[in-house]
Each structure stands twice: as structure tokens, then as C-alpha cells.
């Protein structure tokens, strides 16, 4: 009886603590961003200004929102075909073969690499390569960041999709085969439709990770506080501007950075909510 | 609803605790050895690392320094979590008024901001004020521009885009650089101005002096400004800059020292950029340590205050200053040392001067 109570107590405290921490975080984000919203109102979200010079202070979050969304979308677009093919390769076509096991391990390994290492590789290898290709004169920008982000999120999308694809009941597939379906037809009309919501969820998760990624992007995006107009333009993301500028920030600027943090939090929350909604609808 | 309120209150308590955690255990008793904590600018960090270690070795007083940026240093001082802060830009009257108590500035050494570039095979270029304005404001975008060629006869410039690399974080280095740019270019002053972080007309950003140095080193055609030590240490080429007397000057210990030959105000708050001395490198500046004038706050012990003052007094003296040139900073001129000693003598504990 006593142990029963203790267990209950521990569980209660642990879960409430998480709740309190989350509420506390939201609260401090909101209270920290009040000054900037007082000063600029909701124009802060759609303004492209970013001028930290004394007496001319003017802040807007749009360049960073744009940078974040564009790089993450680019990453998702590049990641989609690769992750989808790889998960089919591992989870369906060559399931259980030694080489697909090896490939699966590689993908998981890729997920374990810290983001700073991706950044270093991007800075010293990928960026000069893009310069050599003649795509851009210095190699920094939206495209390079999107590419590195894509490589970073592929393992997330792949391993979850693979998991889901292997979970498609064998009875269903065998039934399709016995009706004379080819391998491609089984994938098209049995595997993909029944794994649809899970696969979709994996992309949402990957997208969410791309949104918040900081270090590797900071090293490659060029950190220019403008809305990028081309694929090879430099820009900045929400996470990156916070990481770069919080050290020296004070007053209104600090508040602007906290407000960007709050917006990032809201955007990620929104993406997750949309994902959940779509999964529910399809499932 | 009631439960929700409890959560809200608890959450509020946690966040408000976070805002009030001013260190209350700063009262190291006199029996224990004092240890000093400081935080701030990264620009003088190579010097501070060396000289603080030296002090710890000779005096046994541990001095820890966090290179978190000038703004961070001032914020830490404001929160009273450090014994002193460090900054490359002096505090304006308005910023001083924001702090809870009066403070004093102590210059510790002189540093230069160099215009570093990456052009393989071209070891030395010279840049006039007009060219600096044109390059950093995006009017000249190619290395083989006629204007650059005209000022550097005999050098064959490649047909390359100029990539301007600036700081993406706020920085005292940026402050010195932009202060100089504002002095030499009315256009820069009107459109960009000076500050620790700016609204950049062009260029890409990299974090910290090491970040900018690394980016320049990795990017052919790049140009940017960095603390001199970072350029010297990484063997990055840098330009000669034209000073107010019209001479092209290379940054060196001598030319940096020359920039401090003019008048220094009693509180040492002066920018040394664009010095009138004919031999001065024009993008030079003091870097300061900032501390409270009245050292009795937050239950600080007399021993702690004394330890701080003795250390600072040592820092501006010959032994420590002799270390500066080893890492390419210029030692303080005699005038600045004299002023600093006067300022340190005016620092009090409970109204009484600390240093005898």
C-alpha cells in the first residue's frame, strides 16, 4: 500500500514538473517579448527592418521567418525523394538482406552525428564544392543551408518511414500478390496507402527538426538579415539570429530576440498540430 | 481551474526566481583566498588569457575570465555576478545611468582592428578612405575595379567578386570599426552609423573574431575586419590603411601605440580611431575593464574588493603590460597608466579608499 502511494507520488511530481517547466518557459518567453510588441505592435512579425544601431532601433522578424521556412522547405523537398526511396529499399524491396541492414545502420548513424559536425563538413567540403561548381561566388546561402539540412533530416524521415513500412501486415501484401499484383503494384496500392499517415508523420517530424536547427545553418547561411530573393542568396534563420546575437543583446534587442524565440516555438507547435490533424484525417 | 492556477503560480515562481538569482554568496571570508571572476569582450581575450594566468601563478589568486562579448560583460556586471566586466566600447552616459551604481573605466591595453582579405598571391594592398567606403557599402564589387587598381599600382588583381565578411554577433570590434568608418565617411555615418551591431548594407556574417577570420581564410575574394591578433595568429593578409595625415600605415605595436599620443580625458572614455598622429594606425582603440566605484555591495567582503583592486593595479603596471606585445597588443601609454592609477585610487569600500 505504501509503495503504491510512493509510486503515485513520484509519477505525479515528475509529470507535473514537466508541465511546470513548459508553462514557465512559455511564460518567460511571453513576458520577455512584451517590450518589443509594445514598441512595434504586431507589425514586428511582418516588418523586414533589423537595425540595432542606437537611437535608430527597429526590429522585424520577417527576414528570419522567411529564412527559416525557405531553408526548411528546401530541405524537405530534397529529403522527400531520398528518404522515401531509401525507406522502401530497406523496409520493403530488400527487407532483411545484409546490405539493407547495413544501409539502415548507416542511416541511423547519420542521425547521431552532432549538428556542429555537419556544419564543419558543410563549411569545409560542401561550400567549396558549390563554389567550384560555379553556382555561387562564395558558397554561403539558402541553397547550401537547405542542402545540409536535407542531409541532416533524411535519417529522421527514413528510419521512421522504414519502421512504418515494415509494419504493414504481411497478410495484406500476400493477398495482393495472390491476386497477381506485381511488386510495384503492391507498393503502390497496398504498402504506401496503409503506411501513409506514418510516412507523413515522419516528414513532419523531419520538417520540425529542420525548423529549429541552429549550428550547421549559422555556419553556412551567411547571416544576412534580409529576405532572400534567390536560391543562392544569403539570409538568416530564427534560430541562427538568436544564437548569434543574444550575447550582446540588451533592452529592446533582447526582447526582439525572445519574441523571435516565441514565434519559432509557435511555428513549430503549429506544424506539429497540422501534422497531427492530417494524420488523424488520413488514418 | 484551481489546478491550472496552481501550475501558473508555480511557473511564475520559477521564472521570477531565475530573475533574482543575484549571487549572494560573494562573501568569501578573509581566511579563504579570494578568487576573481570576470566576463566580457573577446577582442582582448588572447591577452587576458595570458596575463590572468600569469597573475594566478605569481600571486595564487585565481582569475577566471569568460569571453562572452562586451554586452554580456556589462550585463553580468549589472547583475553583479562578476567582480568586473570587460568591454571594447566605453559606456555612454545613458548606459552608465542604467547601471545600479556608479562605475569606473580602466583601460588595459590597445588593440587594432585590421582589414583582412584573402587574395592568393597578393600579400599587401593599401586602401584609402574612399575605397573603404566604396567596398564596405557595396559600390565597388569586383577586385579588379579600376579604383582599387589605381591605388595599388603594380598589383594584378583577379576578376573576383568581393565578399565582405562582418560579424553576425554584436561586438566591440564592430564598434571600433564602425566608429572609424563613421569618422571617415559621412555617407557611412548617415546610412549605417556606429554600434556593436549594425544594419549592414552588404556582406555575410560570421560569429566572433575567430569565425570571421576562419571565413575570410576559407573564402577567396573575401575582405573583412578582425581584431589584429586573430589576423596575425592565423597569418591572414591585411591591408595598409590611410590615416588622417595621409600616410598608408600597417598595423604594428608601434603604429597602434602612436594612436594614443593625443589627449586622454580623466575618465579615459575616448575612442582613438582616426588619430591625428602621422604614424598612427587609424583603426585602434583601448579596451576597458569596468567595475563599480563603491565596492561594498551585495555583501562583498573587503578582502574580495581588495583582491580585485590589487589585481587591476597589477594589470596596468609594467609587469603585465610587458606581456601585451607578445600577443600583438600595444601596452598602455604612460599617460593612460597614470590616469588609471588615479581612478583605481578613487575606488572605495564603504566610502574609504581601498588602495593605499
Residue A280 to chain B, least CA–CA distance (Å)? 28
- Contact: A137, B18; criterion CB under 8 Å: no
- Helix intervals (H) in B65-166: 70-78, 93-98, 129-136, 146-151
Q: What is the pLDDT of residue A1?
A: 63
Largest alpha-carbon pair distance within chain A? 76
Q: Write out the residues of chain B at the interface with chain A, using a CB-CB cutoff of 8 A.
A: 7-8, 10-12, 14-15, 18, 68-72, 74-75, 92, 160-161, 163, 168-171, 192-200, 203-207, 218-222
From chain A, pick out residues whose CB is under 8 angstroms from the CB of B205. 222-224, 236, 244
Mean pLDDT of B245-252: 91
- Contact: B72, A248; criterion CB under 8 Å: yes
**In the structure grid, which three cell numbers stand for residue A279, read together?**
494524420
Q: What is the DSSP letter of B333?
A: P
Closest residue in A to B39 (Cα–Cα): A247
Q: What is the pLDDT of residues B1-47, one digit of tens each?
A: 555 555 555 555 555 554 444 443 444 334 457 889 999 888 898 89
The complex's ipTM works out to 0.83
Residues 205-234 of A with CB under 8 A from B: 218, 222-225, 234
Given the C-alpha cell 566580457, which residue does it identify? B40
**In the structure grid, which three cell numbers stand for residue A241, read together?**
539570429
Whole-angstrom distance, CA of residue B354 vs CA of residue B242: 44
Q: Which of A113, A142, A116, A102 is nearest to A215 (CA)?
A: A116
Q: What is the pLDDT of residues A166-216, one digit of tens each?
A: 989 999 999 999 999 998 999 999 999 988 888 988 899 899 999 989 999
Q: What is the pLDDT of residue B8?
A: 58
Average pLDDT score, chain B: 87
Test mutation, B119, B141, B207, chain A, max A CBs within 10 A: B207
| A237: contact with B, CB 8 A cutoff | no
Q: What is the pLDDT of residues B195-215, one digit of tens each?
A: 888 999 999 999 888 899 999
Q: What is the pLDDT of residue B298?
A: 84
| A162: contact with B, CB 8 A cutoff | no
Mean pLDDT of A73-80: 95
Q: What is the pLDDT of residues A38-62, one digit of tens each?
A: 999 889 999 998 998 888 889 999 9
Mean pLDDT of A219-246: 91
- Burial letters B320-353, b for 16+ CB under 10 A, else e: bbebbbebbbbbbbeebbebbbebbeebbbeeee
Q: Which domains, ranges and CATH numbers included, belong to chain B?
A: 2-23+34-111+285-353 (3.40.190.10), 112-284 (3.40.190.10)
Largest alpha-carbon pair distance within chain B? 81
- Contact: B169, A244; criterion CB under 8 Å: yes
Task: Select from A27, A245, A248 the Cβ nearest to the Cβ of B70.
Answer: A248
Whole-angstrom distance, CA of residue A262 vs CA of residue A28: 10
Domain A61-282 sits in CATH 3.20.20.150: no
Domain boundaries, chain A: 3-51, 61-282
| A12: contact with B, CB 8 A cutoff | no
Amino acid at each position: 500500500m505504501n509503495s503504491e502511494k510512493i509510486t503515485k507520488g513520484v509519477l505525479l511530481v515528475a509529470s507535473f514538473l514537466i508541465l511546470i517547466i513548459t508553462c514557465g518557459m512559455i511564460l518567460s518567453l511571453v513576458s520577455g517579448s512584451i517590450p518589443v510588441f509594445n514598441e512595434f505592435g504586431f507589425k514586428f512579425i511582418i516588418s523586414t527592418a533589423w537595425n540595432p544601431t542606437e537611437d535608430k532601433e527597429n526590429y522585424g522578424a520577417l527576414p528570419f521567418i522567411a529564412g527559416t521556412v525557405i531553408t526548411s522547405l528546401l530541405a524537405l523537398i530534397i529529403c522527400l525523394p531520398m528518404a522515401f526511396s531509401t525507406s522502401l529499399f530497406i523496409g520493403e524491396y530488400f527487407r532483411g538482406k545484409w546490405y539493407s541492414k547495413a544501409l539502415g545502420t548507416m542511416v541511423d548513424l547519420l542521425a547521431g552525428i552532432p549538428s556542429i559536425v555537419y556544419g564543419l563538413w558543410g563549411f569545409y567540403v560542401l561550400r567549396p564544392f558549390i563554389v567550384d561548381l560555379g553556382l555561387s561566388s562564395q558558397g554561403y546561402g539558402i541553397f547550401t543551408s537547405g542542402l545540409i539540412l536535407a542531409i541532416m533530416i533524411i535519417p529522421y524521415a527514413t528510419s521512421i518511414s522504414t519502421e512504418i513500412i515494415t509494419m504493414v501486415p504481411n497478410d495484406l501484401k500476400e493477398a495482393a500478390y495472390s491476386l497477381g499484383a506485381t511488386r510495384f503494384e503492391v507498393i503502390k496500392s497496398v504498402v504506401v496507402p496503409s503506411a501513409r499517415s506514418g510516412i507523413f508523420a515522419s516528414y513532419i517530424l523531419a520538417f520540425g527538426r529542420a525548423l529549429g536547427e541552429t549550428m550547421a545553418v549559422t555556419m553556412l547561411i551567411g547571416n544576412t538579415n534580409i529576405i532572400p530573393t534567390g536560391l543562392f542568396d544569403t539570409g538568416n534563420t530564427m534560430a541562427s539570429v538568436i544564437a548569434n546575437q543574444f550575447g550582446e543583446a540588451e533592452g529592446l534587442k533582447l526582447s526582439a530576440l525572445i519574441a523571435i524565440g516565441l514565434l519559432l516555438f509557435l511555428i513549430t507547435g503549429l506544424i506539429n498540430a497540422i501534422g497531427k490533424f492530417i494524420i488523424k484525417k488520413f488514418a | 481551474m484551481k489546478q491550472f492556477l496552481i501550475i501558473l503560480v508555480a511557473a511564475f515562481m520559477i521564472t521570477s526566481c531565475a530573475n533574482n538569482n543575484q549571487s549572494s554568496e560573494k562573501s568569501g571570508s578573509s581566511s579563504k583566498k579570494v578568487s576573481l571572476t570576470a566576463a566580457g569582450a573577446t577582442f582582448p581575450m588572447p591577452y587576458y588569457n595570458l596575463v590572468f594566468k600569469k597573475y594566478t601563478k605569481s600571486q595564487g589568486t585565481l582569475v577566471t575570465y569568460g569571453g562572452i562579448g562586451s554586452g554580456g560583460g556589462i550585463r553580468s556586471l549589472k547583475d553583479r555576478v562578476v567582480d568586473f566586466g570587460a568591454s571594447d566600447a566605453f559606456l555612454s552616459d545613458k548606459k552608465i545611468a542604467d547601471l545600479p551604481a556608479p562605475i569606473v573605466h580602466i583601460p588595459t591595453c590597445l588593440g587594432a582592428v585590421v582589414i583582412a582579405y584573402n587574395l592568393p598571391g597578393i600579400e599587401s594592398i593599401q586602401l584609402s578612405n574612399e575605397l573603404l567606403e566604396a567596398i564596405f557599402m557595396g559600390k565597388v564589387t569586383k577586385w579588379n575595379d579600376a579604383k582599387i587598381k589605381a591605388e595599388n599600382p603594380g598589383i594584378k588583381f583577379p576578376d573576383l567578386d568581393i565578399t565582405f565578411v562582418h560579424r553576425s554577433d554584436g561586438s566591440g570590434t564592430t564598434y571600433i570599426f564602425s566608429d572609424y568608418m563613421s569618422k571617415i565617411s559621412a555617407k557611412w555615418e548617415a546610412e549605417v552609423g556606429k554600434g556593436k551591431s549594425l544594419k549592414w548594407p552588404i556582406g555575410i556574417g560570421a560569429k566572433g573574431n575567430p569565425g570571421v577570420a576562419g571565413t575570410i581564410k576559407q573564402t577567396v575574394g573575401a575582405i573583412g575586419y578582425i581584431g589584429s591578433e586573430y589576423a596575425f595568429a592565423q597569418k591572414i593578409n591585411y591591408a595598409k590603411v590611410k590615416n588622417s595625415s595621409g600616410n598608408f600605415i600597417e598595423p604594428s605595436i608601434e603604429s597602434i601605440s602612436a594612436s594614443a599620443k593625443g589627449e586622454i580625458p580623466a575618465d579615459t572614455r575616448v575612442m582613438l580611431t582616426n588619430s591625428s598622429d602621422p604614424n598612427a594606425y587609424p583603426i585602434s582603440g583601448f579596451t576597458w575593464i569596468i567595475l563599480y566605484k563603491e565596492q561594498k555591495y551585495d555583501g562583498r567582503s573587503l578582502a574580495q574588493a581588495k583582491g580585485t583592486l590589487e589585481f587591476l593595479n597589477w594589470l596596468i603596471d609594467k609587469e603585465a603590460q610587458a606581456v601585451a606585445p607578445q600577443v600583438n597588443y600595444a601596452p598602455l601609454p604612460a599617460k593612460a597608466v597614470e590616469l588609471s592609477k588615479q581612478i583605481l585610487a578613487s575606488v572605495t569600500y564603504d566610502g574609504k579608499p581601498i588602495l593605499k
